[in-house]
Amino acid sequence: MSLQFVVDGLLTGSMIGLGAIGVTLTYSILRFSNFAHGDFMAWGTYATLAVVSAIGATFGKVAPIAPLSFGWPLLVALVVGMAFTAVLALLLDKVLFSRLRSQGQAIIVVMASFGASMALRSLLEFTFSSRPTYFSRAIQIAMPVGFGIRITPDQITLLLLTAVLVLGVHLLMTRTQTGRSMQALSQNAALARIVGIDVASVVRVTWVIGGALACVAGVMIGILVQIRPFMGFDMLLPMFAAAILGGIGSIPGAVLGGLIIGLAEAGAVQLIGAEWRAAVSFIILMAVLFVRPIGLFGVRER
């Protein structure tokens, strides 16, 4: 088989990994699996698309940056989209999740997130219709880099962007007071409150990071694949599988889990066929649950 699957897998893995960071943070700090996370992705992408077209309408056609398929409008729009998705996540927490959380039954929150996910996705379908759209219809020439692998400038840029973001979040989690508070809350909520950690602000940071990264992952899918209302929902199972494979609460774990699943998916596409791609994450998920339910970097729950 050709080694091309490595590049494809790393790209899919980056998208899954960026999404899985949000899933794993919500799970470890707010203690519920958020089924609406995929729809944050889709909403962020559509918001970014809307800003791109708004800029296009105001400034006219902007030439893309040299070898890439997009220009500065997309970069500006991405930042706006990230902020928008973060606010969306905060808003949903305020009107729905936080109220149910205070009733103390974690699984009710999961159900509410399932309902919210359906509503959010259908609202996108209503507003933008279910037809796929694209950031750009330009075709990029893939450059051969040896070993039968080809890669486009867009793909290189997005891989680098992922690496920078993951490194940033990792440093935030390990080197700043906010990050340490987040870790404390995920390890022992009661004790964290006793030592005076501001729980409300930690919760806010969690949603902001999760939402913003979901938006980036969505825009990556939008640039490399296509934009559809179901784009996030289809990523849900790979993201959950990645978060569990990496170990709940671990950011390097979520990213590594995402990369493993991305590579496995790309390998399966070559060996078995693209139609079975979605089964890969399920098989990996089941294997992890049977063999090592705490994941690669997980800690046993107390």
Partner 1 sequence: MDLLGYGAFFLTTALIFSLVTLGLNLQWGLTGLFNVGLAGFVAIGAYTSALLTTPDDAARLGGFGLPILVGWAGAMVVGGIAAALTGMATLRLRSDYLAITTFGVAVVVQLVALNAQKLTGGPFGIGFIPRPFGSLAETPLLFNLSNLAVVSAVTLIAYLALEHLSRSPWGRVLKALREDERAAISLGKSARFYRVQAFAVGGAIMALAGALQAHFTGFIAPDNYLPILTFQVWVMLIVGGSGSNLGAVIGSILVWGIWAGSGTLTSILFSPEQQARAASLQIVAIGVMLCLILLIRPTGLFGDRPRRPKPGKQTKAAGESGAGS
* Cross-strand partners of 133: 227
For partner 1, the closer of residues 57 and 195 by Cβ is 195
For partner 1, the closer of residues 30 and 86 by Cβ is 30
Residues 6+ apart with CB under 8 A from 285: 237, 240, 241, 244, 245
CB of 247 to partner 1, least distance (A): 13
Dihedral of CA 16/165/70/40: which sign? positive
CA atoms lying within 13 Å on the CB side of residue 12:
26
CB of 228 to partner 1, least distance (A): 13
Tokens 């998705």 sit at which residue?
A: 85
CB of 178 to partner 1, least distance (A): 15
**Integer Cα distance of 296 and 82 in angstroms:** 29
For partner 1, the closer of residues 112 and 151 by Cβ is 112
Tokens 């339910």 sit at which residue?
A: 293
For partner 1, the closer of residues 86 and 165 by Cβ is 86
3-state SS, residue 150: strand
Quickly list DSSP for 142-190: PEE-STT-EE-HHHHHHHHHHHHHHHHHHHHHHHSHHHHHHHHHHH-HH
CB of 219 to partner 1, least distance (A): 23
Structure token pair of residue 15: 């998208």
Strand residue runs (E) in 67-192: 143-144, 150-151
CB of 31 to partner 1, least distance (A): 6
By CB under 8 A, name the binding residues for partner 1: 27, 29-33, 35, 96-108, 110-112, 114-120, 122-123, 125-126, 129-130, 185, 189-190, 192-193, 199-200, 202-203, 233, 236-237, 240-241, 244, 275-276, 278-279, 281-282, 285-286, 289-290, 293, 301
For partner 1, the closer of residues 152 and 186 by Cβ is 186
3-state SS, residue 72: helix
CB of 35 to partner 1, least distance (A): 7
For partner 1, the closer of residues 101 and 256 by Cβ is 101
Return the closest-CA partner of residue 22 out of 205, 272, 245, 276. 205
Contact by Cβ (8 Å): 203, 29: yes
Helix (H) or strand (E) holding 111, with range, is: helix 106-128
CB of 186 to partner 1, least distance (A): 10
For partner 1, the closer of residues 139 and 301 by Cβ is 301
